[in-house]
Amino acid sequence: MLTLVIGGSASGKSAFAESLCLQSPLPRTYLATMQVWDAECAARVARHRAMRAQKQFDTVECPLHLDRLILPRRGTVLLEDLGNLTANELYAPDGAGEKTADAVVNGLAKLAAQCDNLIVVSNEVFRGGADYAGDTDRYLLTLAQINNATATRADAVVRVVCGIPRYYKGG
């Protein structure tokens, strides 16, 4: 089963997605997409890894090339999050660049085939109504393409606002 959980910053989407995982059968894998750039990032990753281990998650780091990932086992996977993965693929020298949307969508399909439940967290885009400087529009359009393609394939799509989930599909 594929579930897409979307929401704005600090909306409660991650906590909701994690609660879905905790209701799902073991084993649980947390698929972390954050790129570790410095000691502060590394410390944050270590804290999060320890917190997740208490909840019986095994953590797998995958900041790039989701399509190359081979999961160690089936079960429930929480991918946190598409926003990081998209930025990494768009802007990293060895990322997918202009082919990011296709690369991420194809990677999600390969990932879904390797697990029983895939819960994907993503940022809601185009709700701010602002004009953005630089390359931000490119990022937002790419993430919107990925969100739309994932929602089309998903069994459930839920948007979280202020910690309150609302299902748009499934659920």
- Over residues 63-106, the pLDDT tens digits come to 999 999 999 889 999 999 999 999 999 999 999 999 999 999 99
Supply the CATH number for residue 41's domain. Answer: 3.40.50.300
Strands of 24-111 (E only): list them.
28-32, 57-61, 76-80
To the nearest whole percent, how much of the chain has pLDDT over 70? Answer: 96
Residue 157 forms beta bridges with which residues? 4, 169
**Mean pLDDT, range 30-34, rounded to an integer:** 93
pLDDT-based confidence at 132, cuts 50/70/90? low
**Planar angle of CA 21, 59, 88, nearest 5 degrees:** 100
The pLDDT score that the predictor gives to residue 129 is 58
pLDDT-based confidence at 127, cuts 50/70/90? low
Sheet holding 2-7, edge to edge: 57-61, 28-32, 76-80, 117-123, 2-7, 156-161, 164-169
The pLDDT score that the predictor gives to residue 35 is 87
The torsion angle over the Cα atoms of residues 135, 138, 139 and 145, rounded to 10 degrees, is 180
To the nearest whole percent, how much of the chain has pLDDT over 90? Answer: 75
Q: Read off the DSSP letter of residue 67.
A: G
**Mean pLDDT, range 104-111, rounded to an integer:** 98
In terms of residue numbers, what domain contains 29?
Answer: 2-169
Q: Read off the DSSP letter of residue 117.
A: E
Comparing CA positions, the residue from 99, 107, 104, 145 lying closest to residue 126 is: 145
> How many separate domains does the chain show?
1
**Planar angle of CA 126, 140, 153, nearest 5 degrees:** 90
The pLDDT score that the predictor gives to residue 171 is 81
- This prediction has a pTM of 0.92
Mean per-residue pLDDT over the chain, rounded: 92
